[in-house]
Structure 1
Amino acid sequence: MSDNPVSSTVPDWSREAPRCWWDPSRRLLRSLRAHEELRGRDSPWARLMQRRWALSHRFWSVITQADIPLGTKIGGGLLLPHPNGVVIHPDAEIGPNCLIFQQVTIGTTGNRFGAPRIGGHVDIGAGARVLGPVTVGDHALIGANAVVVRDVPQGRIAAGIPAQLIGRG
């Protein structure tokens, strides 16, 4: 166990703070957060700023090649070290302090309705797919290229196609 455990409930907002001007993944998240903060406000200034952040979101989505819709329920502290190809369904829920690598899909399937619910401090390896109405528990690890179509309990490691539980995190 680490000396500095990452919380599955309290977002670490410093993980999302842009470190320089060219920090595409953090700028994409910043545009999502700013747009969401203005949602529901009815002043002309708020509507103008919401459009500004929507344009910023489009720009950084093109740069990162990530498909994370505005309004997606994402807990604070998300890390996207390599956001290329990340696709998140708008109905999916992602807990705080998660780590998602490149080419990950969190979405639905054609024959099972419902989107995934990802717990807090879940690490998802490159190329993994989390599909359908599954729940991934807090502190779980999803291996690279895994295809998760069943629930993953808290603190467990899932890998393979289809993903099997292979140990504890």
Structure 2
Amino acid sequence: MTTSKISATEPDWDRERCNRWWEPGRQLLKSLREYQRWQKQGGVFGRFFSIWNVLQHRFWSVVASADIPINSRIQGGLLLLHPNGIVIHPESTIGPNCLILQQVTIVGGVTIGGHVDIGAGAKIIRPVTIGDHAKIGANAVVLSDIPAGATAVGIPAKITQVERSQ
């Protein structure tokens, strides 16, 4: 089986594209992206469509049971396969092409690199930096920095392996 390495720098916007109407995670991200786009546009249309996207964001937040603020700093290509219970602080930064599963909590001051996979129930509860291509295991509690390519599991999270780039 051949797998292509997902970029940690260039967003893959196809990962966020809605294929059907009832995709709460993708619709939530779409409302967030559209709001931010109209805010930059400004003017009368910008204000009108910003308000419209706030309403959409609130709807999809309730449907998805997710707390992802509309002014979050999230780069493109984020996957929220099961968005229920996800809490992201607006002062955290998430790099491109990340995967966040259900019941994940990310506090303020966290910097997540590109192509980071965060398992179900993981908690990142201190301002830490997580490197590119890192993996955070299910139910891990991250209290310290995780280097690029590392896999961290446990409570508190400990690094189990570091992938060497070739």
TM over 0.5: yes
**Equivalent residues in 2 for 1:99-138, closer than 5 Å:** 99-108=99-108, 115-138=109-132
- SS of residue matched to 1:78: coil
**TM-score, normalization by structure 1:** 0.93
Deviations 1:36-86 (A, max 9, x none): 011143311110000000100000000000000011100100000000000
What residue identity is the alignment partner of 1:78?
L
**CA deviations over 1:1-48 (Å, ceiling 9, x no partner):** 953110000000000000101111000000000000111433111100
Unaligned runs of 5+ in 1: 109-114
Pairing 1:168–2:162 present? yes
The equivalent of 1:38 in structure 2 is 38
Aligned-residue offset at 1:129: 0.4
Q: Residue in 2 aligned with 1:61? A: 61
| DSSP-derived class of the 1:39 partner | helix
CA distance in 2, matches of 1:38, 1:46: 5
Q: In structure 1, how many angstroms separate the alpha carbons of the residues matched to 2:74 and 2:116?
A: 12
CA distance in 2, matches of 1:2, 1:94: 27
CA distance in 1, matches of 2:43, 2:3: 46
Unmatched tracts of structure 2, length 5 or more? none
Q: How far apart are the structure 1 equivalents of 2:2 and 2:140?
A: 25
Equivalent position SS for 1:69? coil
The offset of 1:159, in angstroms, is: 0.5
Partner deviation per Cα, 1:95-120 (whole Å, 9 max, x = no partner): 00000000000014xxxxxx210000
| Equivalence for 1:141 | 135
Equivalent position amino acid for 2:159 in 1 = L
Range 139-148 or range 33-42, more displaced = 33-42
Secondary structure at the counterpart of residue 37 of structure 2: helix
Aligned match of 1:112:
none
Return the letter of the residue paired with 1:117: T
| Matched AA of 2:146 | V
C-alpha distance in structure 2 between counterparts of 1:2 and 1:132, whole Å: 37
Cα distance between partner residues in 1 of 2:56 and 2:26: 12
Q: CA RMSD in A?
A: 1.2
Paired with 1:10 and 1:168, the residues of 2 have a C-alpha distance of: 22
Counterparts of 1:48 and 1:132, CA distance in 2: 37
